[in-house]
Structure 1
Amino acid sequence: MSTASHFQPISVRDYLDGEQQAKRKHEYVAGDIYAMAGGTVQHNRIASNATGALFAQLRGQRCQVFNSDMKVRVRLSSGTRFYYPDVSVVCQPNPPSETFQDAPVVIIEVVSDSTRRTDEYEKREAYLSIDSLCVYVLIEQNAALALVYRRADSGFDREVIQGARSVILLPEIGCELALEDVYQNVEFQSADPDEEA
């Protein structure tokens, strides 16, 4: 006989109501909620740089960029999920009274050691199931590197964008992200020479 606790799943409505009152953000996966840890200065700087670059290019356009305060709802056969991507671009936004978006075209996550597994597997699988999504970008925190999953006829193709002078082309929204802009004021930690010995 199992001694593990059994918790009742939380309804979507209770999660959304609770999230409006919460002091910390939580993500929701099919009835379970997970508190989000705060990001580092490096993480926030990269996410803010990407948001700012896209905002400047989308000003006055139909598509809008959102920061990590906007949830994205993903409806899967295994249950509804709500995530807070670092950056999202939506061209058909939900009504202004909603606290989430259903139809992102671009989603960007800044990857760290603590979020890598979730961003590269769980969230990627969920995000790529969204019909409106054209591009999912994973931006590394400790190197000038991005993985781009772009919708193609047969699913999603994977591209590697590497080097500070590289550019992530986003013709789907009429934008581009230069890595030198994304990593502005970001200092990569060099390896400790004592650790290499």
Structure 2
Amino acid sequence: MVALPDNILMSAEEYLIWELTQEQRYEYWDGEVVAMTGGTRNHNRVSLNFSKILDDALADRACEVYIVDVKVQVEPGQKYFYPDVVVTCDERDRDPQLVQFPCLIIEVLSPSTEAADRGKKFAAYRQSPTLQEYVLVQVAQPAVEVFRRNEFGKWVLSEYSLGDRLLLESVNVEIAIASLYQQVQFAAEGTENQ
């Protein structure tokens, strides 16, 4: 993510109206408008794989899967983010522009977004009472981290690698980690200069 020139500041109400007229997507961080940058082919492929698997698995349930262009209202009037994939199963989610009650959020990590996804975004997402799982997916190597809210309200980390299967408890969907990386080309070690 890259901040707009001159640090454009505006109210949340102004942002929600202004952003509808923009060709590019922008997040809103406590009054500051932040431009979203494009991703790599691997980033796009992992996001697509994850969303397709979830969409197929949830097709006959009252859950909706959204990718990239649907924002999540993290804190009304404070933060609006665009996760790579978001799932809501909450009947209160009726706003056509955003998701307010997510149960699952997935961020596909890139060098330019990883610090924010792990830090400021996760800190904000944890404030959502409906969010049950937050998933971070690497694209440089096959690795997935899942943060789950336990029965005491604490977030617990589980890590998965290529041969593992992941049960997303928030939506009761099991996924082979390998299926998330279908058609993803990893850089071979030692070939950077070749």
- TM-score normalised by length of structure 1: 0.88
| Structure-2 change in CA distance of 1:8 and 1:56 (3 Å) | closer
What is the rounded CA distance, in whole Å, between the counterparts of 1:194 and 1:116 in structure 2? 22
What do residues 123-175 of structure 1 show as CA deviations (whole Å, max 9, x unaligned)? Answer: 1111111100000000001111011100011410011111x221221122121
User: How do residues 48-67 of structure 1 correspond to structure 2 at under 5 angstroms?
Assistant: 48-67=48-67
What do residues 47-80 of structure 1 show as CA deviations (whole Å, max 9, x unaligned)? Answer: 000000000000020111111111001118xx61
User: How do residues 107-118 of structure 1 correspond to structure 2 at under 5 angstroms?
Assistant: 107-118=105-116
| Structure-2 change in CA distance of 1:146 and 1:33 (3 Å) | same
The residue number in structure 1 matching 2:35 is 35
The residue number in structure 1 matching 2:94 is 95
Instruction: Tell me which amino acid in the other structure corresponds to 1:38.
Output: G
The residue number in structure 2 matching 1:158 is 157
- TM-score normalised by length of structure 2: 0.90
What is the rounded CA distance, in whole Å, between the counterparts of 2:11 and 2:45 in structure 1? 34
What is the rounded CA distance, in whole Å, between the counterparts of 1:106 and 1:172 in structure 2? 7
The residue number in structure 1 matching 2:185 is 187
What is the DSSP-based 3-state SS (H/G/I as helix, E as strand, rest coil) of the residue aligned with 2:104?
A: strand
Aligned positions, number? 186
What is the rounded CA distance, in whole Å, between the counterparts of 1:34 and 1:8 in structure 2? 8
What is the rounded CA distance, in whole Å, between the counterparts of 1:12 and 1:117 in structure 2? 24
What is the DSSP-based 3-state SS (H/G/I as helix, E as strand, rest coil) of the residue aligned with 2:73?
A: strand
What is the DSSP-based 3-state SS (H/G/I as helix, E as strand, rest coil) of the residue aligned with 2:20?
A: helix
Structure with bigger gyration radius = 1
The residue number in structure 1 matching 2:3 is none
CA contact (8 A) 2:106 2:137 kept: yes
Q: Unaligned stretches of 5+ in structure 1?
A: 1-5
